[in-house]
Chain A
Amino acid sequence: MATTPNGFDLDDSGRRIVVDPVTRIEGHMRCEVNVDDDGVIRNAVSTGTMWRGLEVILKGRDPRDAWAFAERVCGVCTGTHALTSVRAVEDALKIDIPDNANSIRNLMQLALHIHDHVVHFYHLHALDWVNPVNALRADPKATSELQQAVSPSHPMSSPGYFRDVQNRLKKFVESGQLGLFKNGYWDNPAYKLSAEADLMATTHYLEALDLQKEIVKIHTIFGGKNPHPNWLVGGVPCPINVHSTGAVGAINIERLNLVETIIKQTTDFCRNVYIPDVQAIGGFYKSWLYGGGISSQSVLSYGDIPEHPNDFSAGQLHLPRGAIINGNLNEVHDVDIRNPDEIQEFVDHSWYTYGEPGKGLHPWDGDTSPKFELGPNAKGTKTNIKQLDEAGKYSWIKAPRWRGHPMEVGPLARYIVGYAAGHEDIKNQVDGFLRTMDLPFDAVFSTLGRTAARALESEYQCRLMTHFMNKLITNIKNGDENTANVAKWDPSTWPKEVKGVGVTEAPRGALGHWIKIKDGRIENYQAVVPTTWNGSPRDTQGNIGAFEASLMNTPMERPEEPVEILRTLHSFDPCLACSTHVMSPDGDELSTVKVR
C-alpha cells in the first residue's frame, strides 16, 4: 500500500483485471485495475496505446496549412483542433479577425460541442447505463406515460411509437445477429433502469442518431463539409453576400435560415430529450456516486467562446477560464498559458525520454523522443503485453501538470470553475439540476456529475448559438459583411521569427497549440490536449491522473465484467488519437525511431 501525494491509497495486492481494448471511445486505450476480495478497485492504471507523430509532420510546413493537419488529430471533435491552430498562427502573426468571423467560428465551435456531447452520451456512453435487451420487457403504454412525464414537450411519445421501436428491436434480437450489442453485459446487476426507461432511452439512441447528422450541417454551411470542415487563417473562408448579384454563391438569407432552423431543432432536442433523459436515468443511479477522482481537488479550464473578436480576456469568454487546486472553491486561479512555470509535461512513466529523469517542460520548449520500453515487472513480451508495470513506463500519453498538480479538464471542470467563479448561467443550471435530483452539491464530483455537466452545457451552448446567430445578423444588418482579414496573408509580410499560442475548450476540455514560425515555415508545433490531462499516467512524484483517480474505490458487481470501469472512463469522453500524437519540437530526436 502506498499513498500518492494527491491522496489516493494504491494497493496492487489484489486480483489484476485487464480491459483492452477499452471500446466506445475515440482511439486506442487499455486499462488495468487491481480489485480487493470484495471486488473494490484499489489500484488503477490507464494507458494510451497509440501514437501518430503529427507535430513532427507539421515541421517545415506552411503555417496557413497547419489547421488542416491539426484538424486530423481528431475526427470526433472535428474542427476544434483546426480552430486552435488558426488561433495560434493568428496570435503569432498578430492577425485580427473580423467580427463576423468570430461569430461564425463560435457557431461552428458550439455546434461541434453540442454534436459531440449528444453523440457521446447516446452512442458512446448510454450503454453503460441503459440495457437495450431489457427494453424488450417494457410496456409501451407505460413507456409513453414515462416519456410524457419526464418531457411533456417531446412530440414523439405515443404508445404506438414505442411499440414500433420495441418490435424492431425484438426482430433484431431474435435474428440472433446482435451486432453492436453482441457480448454486452446485459444480465449484470450494475444496470438499474426499469424496462420502460430502457426502452425510452434506447429509442432516443436512435433519435439522436438521426439528430446528430442535422447539427453538423452548420459546419457544412460555413465550412463545406463535416467531418473536417474548412477553416482559414485570418477569418473564415465563407463570404457573406445577402444583398447583391451572386449571393447564391455565398452566405445568403437562405443559408442563414437553414442555420436558424438547425439551431432550433438542436435546442429542442437538448431541452426535451437529452436533459430529461439524463435526469431520468440519473434518478435510477442516485446512489451510485462513484468516479469523482480528482474533480473535487483540481480542475482546469482555458475558457472559450469570446464575445468579441481577438479578446481572450477571462471576463469576455462565455465558457469560463480558471484553475482550482486543493479543493478550494473559494479561489479561482488565473491561468497563464505562456508562463513556463505553469503548464509542464513530464514523461517519467510515458514512452518518451527527456534524457534526464524528473524533468518537466513547458510546451514552448517541449521535447518528444519516443522510447518504447516496458517496466521490469511487466508480464508478457514486447509485442504481446499481458500486464503492464506502472512503476516503469506504461503509456503513449505524457503527464501534463499545472503548477505541479494533475488536473481534470472537460465539461465538469468548466462547470466547477464557472460555479466557483459565480457564472450566473452555470450556477442556475447546476442548482436547478441538483434541486430536481434532490442531491447535495458534492454529488457533482462523480461520474454522474461529469455526465450531467455535459448535458447541461449542451443546453447552455444552444442559447449561445442563438446569441451569436443574432449577433451575426445584426452585424450584417449594420452593413458589415467582412469575413476575412487578408492583410498578412502573404508570408512575405511576416516577421522572420515569431511564436504564438492558441487555446480553445474542446468538448473534452482544455486544448492548447503552441507554434514557432521561422522564415515563413513552421519551426516547432506542440499540442497539449484534453485527454493528455485526463488520461495522464503517474508523474515523477507519483501523483495519479484523472482517469486513474476516478476508478479508485469503486465497487464492481462482477470484476470480470467491466461495466463500472467503462461507465467512469466514458464519462470523460476519452479521445486517444488526440492525446497521443504529441511529437518533437525539432524532429531531430527521430533518430531514435528505427526505420526498417
Chain B
Amino acid sequence: MSEIETFYDVMRRQGITRRSFMKYCSLTAAALGLSPSFVPKIAHAMENKPRTPVIWVHGLECTCCSESFIRSAHPLAKDVVLSMISLDYDDTLMAAAGHAAEAAFEETIEKYRGNYILAVEGNPPLNEDGMYCITGGKPFVEKLRHAAKDAKAIISWGACASYGCVQAAKPNPTQATPVHKVITDKPIIKVPGCPPIAEVMTGVITYMLTFDRLPELDRQGRPAMFYSQRIHDKCYRRPHFDAGQFVEAWDDENARKGYCLYKMGCKGPTTYNACSTVRWNEGVSFPIQSGHGCIGCSEDGFWDQGSFYDRVTDLTQFGVEANADKIGIAATGVVGAGVAAHAAVTALKAAQRKTQTRTEKEEA
C-alpha cells in the first residue's frame, strides 16, 4: 500500500488527480491484456522516465487525427502532453510560428538525434514537385524526409499517413503518397482510421513509453493489440446477423430494434479496428451502435471500394469467416486474426443465403 501512496503523492505534485491517473493505469493494463500487477509498473515508468521528445508534422490532411488525439480520456490529452511526452514541434498546437517554429524543429532534431518519435499526420503530395503542400517555402516531403532521418521511430497517424486516405482516392490528383512509400528505412507504426480512436492513439504512445519497445505489428505495420480483429467479430449486433435479422431500410422497425446493418452496407465484416470494443469518445458509442454502418475507414483504399451503402459483395458460400479470414491473412498475415468460432453455423448460412441472393443478382 505504501508504495502506491508514494506514487500517488508524486502524481499529485504533478497535478494529476488520483482518479484520472488510476483510471488511466488500469485501463491501459486492461487494453494491453495485462494483469493488475502491471499497474505499478506503468506508474513506475511514468514516474521516472524523462519525457520522450515528439515531433508531430502535418502534410495533406484535415487535422481530424489531432482532434481525435485531444479527445483522449485515458490518459487525458493534457496529461500526455504535460507529463508523458515533450511535444517539441506540432504546428497545429505550438505557440511559436515562422522562424521560431522552424528553429524549434531543428533544435529538437539536433538535440535528440536518434531518440525522438516522429508523428506524421497527413501525407506528402509528389506531383508539381511537391508544391501542393508547402511549408516554410519548401515542399512538405522535404521536411518529412529531414525529420525522418534521425527519428527513432515513426508513427503514421490515421488513414492519410498510413494509406493515403481521401486525397489519394481516385484519381489522386496531387499524387498524395503514404509515408511508408517515401520513408523506407525506419520502423513505421501505422495507426489507421479516419481518424483513429483517441484512446488507441494515446495507447500506442503510452505502450512505447511504458514498455520501452515498439508494439507488436502485423504484416501491414499496424499494432496487433488494436487492429487484429474485425469490427464484425466483436460487434454487439452480431447475434442479429447470425439470426438473419437485418435492417432493410433506414428507420424501419428493424432499425429501431437495433438489428444488423449488413444489408445497409456495413463494412464491419471486412474492417479491422477496435471500434466495437474500445468504442468512441470514452466508450459512448460507435458507428454501428448509432445506427449507421461502418464505412471501413481504417482499411487501405476504403474510398474506392464502391458505395458505402453497397453490401459487402465478396462474401462467398464458404461463409463470412472463411472469406474474411482470407482477406485478413492476405492483408495482415496475423495468425488467428478474425477467427471467431461460434456455433450458429446453420443460422449463419441461412442468413447468408437470404442476404446474398439479391446481391448476386445485382452483381450479375
Contacts and interface: CB of A to CB of B under 8 A. Distances in A.
Interface of A: 18-28, 30, 49-54, 56-57, 61-62, 64-65, 68-69, 72-76, 78, 119, 123-124, 127, 164-165, 167-168, 171-172, 175, 177-185, 206, 209-210, 212-213, 216-217, 219-230, 232, 234-235, 237-241, 244-250, 258, 370, 372, 380, 382-386, 396, 481-484, 486, 489, 560-562, 566, 577, 583, 587, 590, 593-596
Contacts of B128: 370, 372, 593-594
Question: Would you list the 9 A-B pairs with minimal beta carbon distance, nearest first?
Answer: A249-B258, A75-B64, A246-B257, A168-B15, A224-B287, A184-B95, A224-B290, A237-B292, A230-B292
Most central of A27, A50, A65, A226 by chain B CB within 10 Å: A50
Contacts, number: 339
A61 B308 CA distance: 11
A238 B136 contact: no
Most central of B99, B104, B132, B249 by chain A CB within 10 Å: B132
A223 to B, nearest CB: 6
Given A57-B173, A209-B76, A486-B251, A596 B126 contact: yes
Interface in B120-174: 125-140, 142, 165-167, 169-174
Contacts of B65: 75
Interface of B: 13-15, 50-51, 53, 58, 60-68, 70-73, 76-78, 81-82, 85-104, 107, 125-140, 142, 165-167, 169-176, 194-195, 198, 237, 249-251, 255-259, 275, 280-282, 284-292, 295, 297, 303, 307-309
Contacts of B171: 56-57, 587, 590
A235 B62 contact: no
26 contacts: A21-B135, A22-B97, A26-B92, A50-B60, A50-B134, A51-B174, A53-B174, A65-B308, A69-B166, A72-B64, A76-B64, A78-B67, A123-B93, A168-B82, A177-B50, A179-B51, A179-B86, A183-B100, A184-B96, A184-B100, A225-B285, A237-B250, A238-B290, A244-B257, A249-B256, A486-B251
A119 B251 CA distance: 34
B308 A248 contact: no
Contact of B92 (A24, A74, A250): A24
Nearest to B103: A183
B280 A224 contact: yes
B88 A52 contact: no
Contact of B285 (A18, A68, A221, A561): A221
Given A54-B166, A484-B250, A23 B138 contact: no
A66 to B, nearest CB: 10
A30 B137 contact: yes
Contacts of B138: 383-385
A249 B313 CA distance: 26
B91 A227 contact: no
B53 A220 contact: no
Nearest to A238: B291
B169 A69 contact: yes
Contacts of B287: 223-225, 230
A258 B283 CA distance: 13
B94 A228 contact: no
A555 B165 CA distance: 43
A486 B285 contact: no
A546 B284 CA distance: 40
B137 A384 contact: yes
A521 to B, nearest CB: 10
B309 A65 contact: yes
A210 B282 CA distance: 12
Given A52-B132, A232-B250, A250 B256 contact: yes
A232 B292 contact: yes
Contacts of B94: 23-24, 180-182
A230 to B, nearest CB: 4
Contacts of A127: 95
Contact of A224 (B62, B131, B170, B292): B292
A57 B169 contact: yes
Contacts of B85: 179
B251 A590 contact: no
A590 B173 contact: yes
A52 B250 contact: no
A483 to B, nearest CB: 5
A262 B353 CA distance: 44
Contact of A385 (B14, B103, B134, B194): B134
Nearest to A81: B62
Contact of B258 (A223, A230, A246): A246
Contact of A56 (B53, B60, B173): B173
Given A75-B62, A583-B173, A217 B284 contact: yes
Contact of B281 (A183, A216, A382, A562): A216
B307 A225 contact: no
B137 A385 contact: yes
A22 B98 contact: yes
Contact of A182 (B62, B104, B249): B104
A217 B73 CA distance: 12
B86 A209 contact: no
A56 B127 CA distance: 16
Contacts of A20: 98, 134-137
A73 B98 contact: no
B134 A30 contact: yes
A308 B250 CA distance: 22
Contact of B251 (A179, A183, A239, A247): A239
A130 to B, nearest CB: 10
Contacts of B130: 383
Given A68-B295, A168-B82, A562-B97, A217 B282 contact: yes
B97 A482 contact: no
A497 to B, nearest CB: 20
A594 B137 contact: no
B127 A594 contact: yes
A222 B100 contact: no
B95 A183 contact: yes
A458 B235 CA distance: 37
B126 A227 contact: no
A242 to B, nearest CB: 10
Contacts of B295: 68, 230
A163 to B, nearest CB: 10
B152 to A, nearest CB: 16
A384 B251 CA distance: 55
Given A20-B135, A183-B103, A226-B71, A250 B175 contact: no
A164 B137 CA distance: 42
Given A23-B94, A68-B295, A596-B175, A239 B256 contact: yes
Contact of B87 (A50, A179, A240): A179
A248 B90 contact: no
A49 B251 contact: no
B281 A217 contact: yes
B71 A65 contact: no
A489 B174 contact: no
A240 B256 CA distance: 6
B280 to A, nearest CB: 4
Most central of B62, B174, B198 by chain A CB within 10 Å: B62
Nearest to B134: A49
A481 B252 CA distance: 11
A209 B70 contact: yes
A225 B286 contact: yes
A594 B125 CA distance: 12
Given A20-B136, A486-B249, A239 B285 contact: no
A248 B258 contact: yes
Contacts of A164: 15
Nearest to B288: A224
A167 B15 contact: yes
A489 B248 CA distance: 12
Contacts of B172: 57
A351 B129 CA distance: 14
A272 B133 CA distance: 41
Given A68-B308, A241-B256, A50 B132 contact: yes
B44 to A, nearest CB: 18
B251 A484 contact: yes
